[in-house]
Amino acid sequence: MKETLQNLKIPPAYDVDQLLVKEFATLKGQHYVDHAAATLYSRSQIQAVFSQLESSLLGNPHSRHQPSDATTQAIEDVRQRILEHFNTTADNYDVIFTSGATAALKLVAESFDWGGDFVGEEDDGCVSLENMKGHNDLQVQNATDSEVKAGNHIEESAKEQRDGCRNGCGGAFVYATENHTSVLGMRGPANQAGCRVYPVPTQELQQLLEGASQNSVVSLCNAEGKLANGNSSCFTEDRDASNFTARENPRRKRSVNCLFAYSGQCNFSGSKWPLSWVEKVHHGALSGILHRPPINCNTTTQGKVTHDECCDVRWFVVLDAASLVATSPLDLSSMRPDFVPVSFYKMFGYPTGLGCLLVGRRAWGCLRKEYQGGGTVLMADSRSMTLVPRTTLHERFEDGTLPFLSILAVRHGLDMLTSIPGGMKSVRDHTFHLARYTHHSLRSLRHPCGAPVALLYCPAGDYWQPDTHGSVINFNLLNADGSYVGYSQVERVASLYNIHLRTGCLCNPGACQTYLHISQHQLRRQFEAGHVCGDTHDLVDGLPTGSVRVSFGYMSTYADADQVVRMVRECFIQGTPVVDTTWMAQLSSSASHHTTTMGTSHEEINGTASQNATNRTSGGEINKTASQITTKETSDSEISGTTSLHSTNRTSGCEMNGIDEISKKVDHQVDLRTQEELLDSKELEVTDILIYPVKSCGAMQVDKWGIGEAGLKFDRGWMVVTEAGVTVTQKRKPQMVLISPHVDLQSHTLVLSHQGVADVHVPLTPPDSSSEDAEVGMCGGRVCGDRVRGQDCGDEVGSWLSQVLDIAGLRLMRQTTHRTGRLNSQTHGVLKESLSLSNESQLLVIHRPSIRRLLHNISVRGVEQELTEDDLVMRFRPNLVVDGGAAFEEDTWTHITLDTTALKVQGRCRRCQMVCVSPDTGQRTKEPLLTLATMRGPNITFGVHATSPITTHHNSAVISVGDSVTTARVNASLK
């Protein structure tokens, strides 16, 4: 039986549609596929939280009255519920509440006893909690001020072992390179403690650990009895004890702790790594790595360890479970990692800012603490360094008052997960099937010539089973010629389809650099080109700096997956797509030979194009034509012939087989002038002047207007903010465009109008704040990251805005101080001009011939309702509109002169989804962004930024419709 994509739609064990109606009404019409970043909270969960708060009297758990006792008991109940959720008990794990998984990892890194202790043969290398009270008593009786630090009596032997750690006989931190940034952050404290640091690629770990015998331990010493970095060693191999014993001084050997960190599920690729690794690492399977030079090796400063300082090496494991437990069960009764960090908002959405660290019993005595906050001590003497820490692990590490109300909310989140039929196993299966269907659908899509549409990132050996892959897929899109589509472009287009996904390196630089083949040289090159973590600089030298991630939650549906595939189909394929599912049978066949293909390369397993932009052949797939693909599964209901978002002036490696006539027309005409454009090769002139008094609201069109210090007078002088100081724009509320502002210079008022509501009037000149009778309030918001504050325009206009926009508590803020511009002039460097509340520049200039070219190509595509030239002009929200000349000649302008007023051009304007808001209806459409992207490439630019050099004499400059325009250009040959 042929495998088809529809066969992959496996119904979940629970009714997701009913769940959506009952619990997630906010998802109606939306496709949220960013659950790996944060999943969504349910309605009943939040209702239960507030019901408990309304019906309970709760107090600080550090007090000793009835509300305090009730809180303490509730916290311990939640602690027990967490242990039950992970199928373990308080005898085997303790739960330390933290602010999240990152804080849990930080706690381990800063508190882990890397150096261990001097122990006898009967000891296990770490001081147990059962023995802590004895240490505390000794501390109170015998310790002097100089001998006590942070609740631990620092004996001479402990000082010696810490010195030994720094001198090269200390522990080691080993981590999988494909790890969250927070795991990489553990390197800092480890390095500071004098430990060796070793990154290991996950594929190498797979080879080491999948073939490792539990009792096979590799000696740390070479034939000369020295470590690889040259330091002396006195280790001998003990295969029976699964640790290292001392050759000399057997009753006084040094215990050295090594820590290994890996992720249960990669937040970048979605791959799951075996929990069986935990026990193998405990038995020393990674000890051979310690032969290598560490990345923080400094042999010139490291001391040497004498032969009588012998080491007993113990391995501990950090399992980063933040991504895994969001959609999968974790059974800590069978495999017992020592440290398990968790974030609750990734599991059930609320509360945020809360997580926990589960600490296994064998590691309870391996956490040392220097800072002791409130609630963590039994006794503290303020006149000396003497204090006695609490003996219970979580009591010693939970500094200060816990966020007890948030902790109580965890119970209701766990209740929500428990209410799902089949529990976390059903969630795991459902989200896996969604991810597999999306992955296989994208991988099966081909351009008409047979070239892959998507480059999907999965490790070698991932055969798409629930135990090897989770709820995440990761990819980059490819044009037909094999070049990359920038992830920022994908993100902007996705917003038009109400798809909410994540792009970039996803706080996992190791996985990003591995799958995208970003070398250290390329990484530096990207940084020098201006790319930093979290920005939109998606392509450097044609190569991606990040990727696109789609991740599912327990409330996700196949409609979400289909919307992602539809978006790719309709917007990133030129012509009629081809669906090739032949590889699916090959994948099934390969899965049966898992053990023999473990080392197969990523390209061989997934049949995707190579990340090397200059040699992307992938087994010849990219050179196939549609006629050469012999077996396909093509459905008219699944595939629609639409044009792509890739740059149409780029030479395509595809033959034209299967490309429809509409696409041919666009390709033929995109670089040609229409007859109308040829007639427009006249002198330039200003046709429109527009100001936008209130940021994101409608335009005010004028025939002439003055230029002020920050651009056109009164342009973006006001903005709408919430009570919490959040700026409201069309991205959040597109209906703002229907508010019509008018600056009445005669009455000195700003008039706001909206159909069906009486106008509201706001004074242009604010009241004098120095007047005793004036009641001037202040409010604030943010514009492009800048924190701005201004004067509150009062309750009347605030209520008016709240009524019109249906958002409670809105305020109108008038700008009182200008911001400093950040854009560069193409020829004059940083101008540091004054800005109003506009995003980037004082003035935005667009060119009508370019509007006409765009309008023509939209009509040729025929995928949107009919648009007019003036409608497109208003969608781009310009300040100045210029006519005459050739389309897109504005890209070359460096200066613009309007009669006698000179402007400096600061570069092209990158467009976002706001250009898709209709100025007449306030509704979002897909055009003009889709067609604009085909014409303008990944940055999707249209129009140019400009600034006025006027400063002291700004009141005398006036521009008018009909002003003649002259320009200076980069290429003087353009006339």
3-state secondary structure of 419: helix
Q: Which helix (H) or strand (E) holds 153?
A: strand 152-153
Q: How many residues does the chain have?
A: 975
Burial zone of 844 (CB within 10 Å; 0-12 exposed, 13-18 middle, 19+ buried): buried
C-alpha distances in Å from residue 187, one per residue of 102, 176, 322: 13, 12, 19
The number of beta carbons lying within 10 Å of the beta carbon of residue 426 is: 16
Angle at 317 between CA 338 and CA 168, to 5 degrees: 120
How remote is the C-alpha of 653 from its chain's centroid?
A: 33
Q: What is the DSSP letter of 911?
A: P
Whether 507 is catalytic: yes
Structure tokens at 905: 């051009």
Where helices occur in 223-372 by DSSP H, the ranges are: 277-282, 345-348
Structure tokens at 788: 């701005």
Task: Find out whether 35 and 552 touch, Cβ atoms under 8 Å.
Answer: yes
How far is residue 328's CA from residue 346's CA, in Å, rounded to a whole number? 12
Q: Which helix (H) or strand (E) holds 571?
A: helix 558-571
The percent helix, strand, coil of the chain (3-state, each to 5) is 30, 20, 45
Which residues have CB under 8 Å from 620's CB, separation 6+?
Answer: none
Phi, psi of 199 (to 5 degrees): -85, 140
Task: Find out whether 689 and 668 touch, Cβ atoms under 8 Å.
Answer: no
Structure tokens at 308: 């009588």
Where helices occur in 572-721 by DSSP H, the ranges are: 582-591, 602-606, 661-669, 675-679
Task: Find out whether 946 and 904 touch, Cβ atoms under 8 Å.
Answer: yes
How far is residue 772's CA from residue 754's CA, in Å, rounded to a whole number? 35
> For 791-818, b where at least 16 C-beta lie within 10 A, e where not — what string?
bbbbeebbebbbebbebeebbbbbbeeb
Task: Find out whether 441 and 583 touch, Cβ atoms under 8 Å.
Answer: no
Burial zone of 286 (CB within 10 Å; 0-12 exposed, 13-18 middle, 19+ buried): buried
User: Exactly one of 169, 458, 507, 571 is catalytic; which is it?
Assistant: 507
Q: Are strands 196-200 and 172-176 parallel, antiparallel or unpaired?
A: parallel
DSSP for 690-736, please give it: EE-SBTTS--EEESEEEEETTEETTTT-EEEE-TT-PBP-TTT-GGG
Structure tokens at 767: 């009241």
Which residue, chain included where needed, has tokens 């704040």?
769
CA atoms within 13 A on the CB side of 532: 1
Nearest residue to 475 via CA among 521, 500, 440: 440
Task: Find out whether 359 and 96 touch, Cβ atoms under 8 Å.
Answer: yes
Structure tokens at 447: 């351009």
DSSP for 475-492, please give it: EEEB-TTSPBPPHHHHHH
Q: What is the DSSP letter of 352?
A: S
Task: Find out whether 338 and 318 touch, Cβ atoms under 8 Å.
Answer: yes
Q: So which residues are the catalytic ones?
A: 507
